[in-house]
């Protein structure tokens, strides 16, 4: 059976002893590192602060995000008080850029909310992307959420109920690389999966699975991460390129310290537009456009099955 590429624990990590073990391992690795973005003492302080809130602990354990925490970041509506570091992650880190892209996704999806359409989210996580659309003026639209994590599917089901869309929504516990659907979907939306995979052949396989699942004429909307420039303190000539990410130098150092040195996030598999275009084309899809944000980063590719 395939396993999730993004995470391996449940949303809530209650086993304090395992967090302590993981933190001790990370601390040993940091102390032995030749080079860190921030001084060791500052890095260890960040490590300490990451243990103080649930999202931080999830990142330490998983080095990636599940559906629940992705939704938590994109919606940015924490239920209670947050620690200063969690506040920083939600409001100043590069995760905010991914949140902006989530809103662009929603605009693109809205064009596909039409009578009788079958819209799929793969992987769906808690499926905000499809469930937050307005279906009041359409009839016969079907929504399908696919994910390999049963906990996410449960949250997505509750989310569908909350939005009054349960009747129109179904869920499938499947590996995205091996979708059961054949020529079924008018739209597949895919955010936050391909960036966990580094092997170009595996990426093409994923896109083949999407291609198979789409009806002729159906569309794929898919995000990817383009390679960032080297940090401006290493290559000052790239400082302007960083301006596109709307992050100042101090925040960038903190970002690279947390997601790079400490967490070693596994989703940082970058792909150029031309790589993604050729993988999608190799999977049989025709790329219609690649849309970037106003700064020219955080793309979404739009591809069609002819
Ligand atoms: C970063 S979350 C993104 C969720 C959602 N697309 C969003 O934007 O909120 C990654 C999701 O991929 C799911 N996932 C990981 N590996 C998978 C696989 N092989 N097949 C299907 N889903 C998978 C995880 O369970 C998780 O829900």
Find how far residue 41's CA is from the centre of its chain.
30
Contact 101, 189 (CB under 8 A): no
* DSSP sequence for the chain: ----SS--S-S----HHHHHHHHHHHHHHHHH-S--SS-HHHHHHHHHHHTTSHHHHHHHHHSS--HHHHHHHHHT--SS---HHHHHHHHTSTHHHHHHHHHHHHHHHHTT--TT-EEEESS-TT-HHHHTS--TT-SS-EEEEEES-HHHHHHHHHHHHHTT-GGGEEEEE--GGG---SS-EEEEEE-SSGGG---HHHHHHHHHHHHHHEEEEEEEEEE--PPPPPPTTT-GGGHHHHHTTT--HHHHHHHIIIIIIIT--TT-----HHHHHHHHHHTT-EEEEEE--TTS-S-EEEEE--
Q: What are the boundaries of each domain within the chain?
A: 16-98+230-262, 100-226+269-304
> How high is the pLDDT of residue 46?
98
Give me the residues paired with residue 172 across strands: 146
> How high is the pLDDT of residue 239?
87
Place of tokens 């970037």: 292
**For 190, what's the count of Cα atoms within 13 Å in the CB-facing half-sphere?**
28
- Can you give the pLDDT of all 306 residues of the chain as single tens digits? 799 999 999 999 989 999 999 999 999 999 999 999 999 999 999 999 999 999 999 999 999 999 999 999 999 999 999 999 999 999 999 999 999 999 999 999 999 999 999 999 999 999 999 999 999 999 999 999 999 999 999 999 999 999 999 999 999 999 999 999 999 999 999 999 999 999 999 999 999 999 999 999 999 999 999 999 999 999 999 888 888 999 999 999 999 999 999 999 999 999 999 999 999 999 999 999 999 999 999 999 999 999
CA 105–ligand 1 middle distance (angstroms): 16
Among residues 209, 217, 212, the alpha carbon closest in space to that of 193 is found at 209
Phi, psi dihedral angles at 294 (to 5 degrees): -60, -30
Q: How is residue 28 written in tokens? A: 């040993």
Pocket test for ligand 1, best of 122, 189, 193, 267 (most atoms within 8 A of CB): 193
Q: Using a 6 Å cutoff on CB, does residue 145 contact ligand 1?
A: no
Pocket test for ligand 1, best of 4, 65, 98 (most atoms within 8 A of CB): 4
> How high is the pLDDT of residue 177?
98
> How high is the pLDDT of residue 240?
86
Q: Using a 6 Å cutoff on CB, does residue 66 contact ligand 1?
A: yes
Which protein residue has the closest C-alpha to ligand 1 atom 25? Answer: 149
Domain 100-226+269-304 belongs to what topology? Rossmann fold (3.40.50)
């Amino acid at each position: 059976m395939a396993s999730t590429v993004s995470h391996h624990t449940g949303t809530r990590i209650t086993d304090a002893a395992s967090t302590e073990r993981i933190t001790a391992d990370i601390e040993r690795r940091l102390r032995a590192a030749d080079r860190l973005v921030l001084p060791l003492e500052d890095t260890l302080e960040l490590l300490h602060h990451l243990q103080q809130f649930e999202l931080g602990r999830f990142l330490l354990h998983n080095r990636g995000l599940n559906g629940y925490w992705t939704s938590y970041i994109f919606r940015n509506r924490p239920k209670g008080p947050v620690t200063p570091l969690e506040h920083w992650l939600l409001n100043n880190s590069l995760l905010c850029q991914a949140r902006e892209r989530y809103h662009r996704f929603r605009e693109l999806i809205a064009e596909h909310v039409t009578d009788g359409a079958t819209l799929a989210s793969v992987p769906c996580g808690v499926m905000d992307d499809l469930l937050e659309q307005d279906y009041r003026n359409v009839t016969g639209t079907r929504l399908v959420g696919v994910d390999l994590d049963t906990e996410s599917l449960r949250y997505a089901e509750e989310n569908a109920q909350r939005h009054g869309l349960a009747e129109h929504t179904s869920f499938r516990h499947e590996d995205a690389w091996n979708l059961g659907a054949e020529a079924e979907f008018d739209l597949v939306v895919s955010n936050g999966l391909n960036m966990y995979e580094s092997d170009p052949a595996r990426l093409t396989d994923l896109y083949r699975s999407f291609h198979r699942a789409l009806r002729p004429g159906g569309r794929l909307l898919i995000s990817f991460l383009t390679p960032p420039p080297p940090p401006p303190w290493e290559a000052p000539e790239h400082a302007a390129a960083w301006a596109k990410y709307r992050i100042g130098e101090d925040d960038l150092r903190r970002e690279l310290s947390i997601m790079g040195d400490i967490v070693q996030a596994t989703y940082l598999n970058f792909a150029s537009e031309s790589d993604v275009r050729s993988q999608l084309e190799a999977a049989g899809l025709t790329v219609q456009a690649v849309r970037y944000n106003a700064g020219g980063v955080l793309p979404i590719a739009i591809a069609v099955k002819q």
